[in-house]
Amino acid sequence: MKTVVENKGIKEQCQIYRHKSGMNIYVCEKPEYSSAYAIFGTRYGSIDTKFRLGGDAAFTEVPEGIAHYLEHKLFESEDGDAFSRYAKTGAMANAFTSFDRTCYLFSCSSNFEDSFRILLDFVQHPYFTEETVRKEQGIIGQEIQMYDDSAPWRVLFNLLCALYHNHPVRIDIAGTIESIAQINADLLYQCYRTFYNLSNMFICVAGNVKADEVFRLCDELLLDSEPVSIERATHAEPEEIVKKSVEIKLPVSMPLFAIGYKERCEKPQKTVKERVCTEILMKILFGSDSQLYKELLDAELINDKFEAEYFTGHGYAAVLVEGESKDPQAVYEKINAAIADAKRNGVTKEQFDRARKAIYGADAAAYNSVENIVMSMVNAAFLNEGVFDEIETVKSVTLEDVNQRLREILDPAHSAISVVSGEE
């Protein structure tokens, strides 16, 4: 079954095909473009360490880092690796594992069909042996050690460990040297069969392609599979943080900081309205045209690397503010003061209108990039939302919605700061 969804405001449309497996395939045709971008993804990330299939009595617990490990191994086959196959088509290929998803992707300016066939082939044909799994342990172990020495990586995960007691979002996506040592071929196959079932996956394509041709290739190449029901374990995460601050020393020229405001998660996922209202608030409070940004810049407490993001996924949510500063604690205090002032006085209509228009414009402009289009479709597919739900919600939220959201979040009592300072 195929449906076409259109947004007349930005003059864009997306075609969605419901495959017999239960998987949705999203295509945005951009015939005026010279390139194409495709993702084959699964709702499986580093936080999925405890799960059970429908009908199972007990949960299965697997080593931390196994989703990332599986991503690495899936490129291999008995006949070589997928990258060498892509080299023949001229496509640029990659993959990534995040906290809640794993995506395999390529971009190309020609030979789309050949590259798409490679993508659908290797993702559906795992090949793991004990020998190749052991070999990968050394490679990923080096990657873990590399990230241990990365100041931006450490400042983030130290913050997550300060915010979260039990949720696995506090664990490095790649796991630890100890956890990956427990991974074997049988565990990889078990996780693959669970999370790489087509009913738990999605395909998103944008660019100089024909939607009907993409759907035809999917019908030809996607393997038959019975849908599965996956239950992810919940984690008893208290509202309180673990500790207020953490600081380590690494060779950096300017101290790095990450400040987080932990939010309660009574439901597994935040709604699109909650996410949009939070984005508007962050633009007002922390954006480059905000009063706080100007004051911090004038005081030479920040530089242009100052930014904020809404960090949210299955069972976790926090507003994060990151940057570089000669005095991170002073930045933290000024941010808390700005939040207190906003909560006292509320967001004004002028602030709201300016921020909403800026966000709507940025969302509309994102459709000039095939990569951005695909990533927006991936987010919609992952959350089972409409492709244009977010941009339409930006148009429909009100000033009162945003002020209500302000009353709900950004509690300094549930915040923490992580700092990486220079070695003496």
Condensed to tens digits (0 to 9), the pLDDT of residues 91-121 reads 999 999 999 999 999 999 999 999 999 999 9
Question: In 10 A of CB 257, how many CB atoms?
Answer: 25
Condensed to tens digits (0 to 9), the pLDDT of residues 1-10 reads 899 999 999 9
Token pair recorded at residue 423: 């070695």
Is 71 tagged catalytic? yes
In a domain, 65, yes or no: yes
Condensed to tens digits (0 to 9), the pLDDT of residues 193-241 reads 999 999 999 999 999 999 999 999 999 999 988 889 999 988 889 999 9
- DSSP code of 170? G
DSSP 323-382: EE-S-HHHHHHHHHHHHHHHHHH---HHHHHHHHHHHHHHHHHGGG-HHHHHHHHHHHHH
Average pLDDT of the chain? 95
Which is the catalytic residue, given 12, 71, 279, 392?
71
The order of strands in the sheet holding 102-108 is 2-7, 12-18, 24-29, 201-207, 36-42, 102-108, 92-97
**Statement to judge: residues 261 and 224 lie in one domain:** no
Residue where a domain stops, chosen among 201, 232, 263 = 232
**Statement to judge: residues 216 and 263 lie in one domain:** no
In a domain, 240, yes or no: no
Residue where a domain stops, chosen among 181, 199, 232 = 232
| Whole-structure pTM value | 0.94
Contacts of 129 (CB under 8 A, 6+ apart): 185
Q: What percent of the chain has pLDDT over 70?
A: 100
Condensed to tens digits (0 to 9), the pLDDT of residues 366-391 reads 999 999 999 999 999 999 999 999 99
Residue 271's domain comprises 245-422
In a domain, 139, yes or no: yes
**So what's the pLDDT on residue 424?**
64
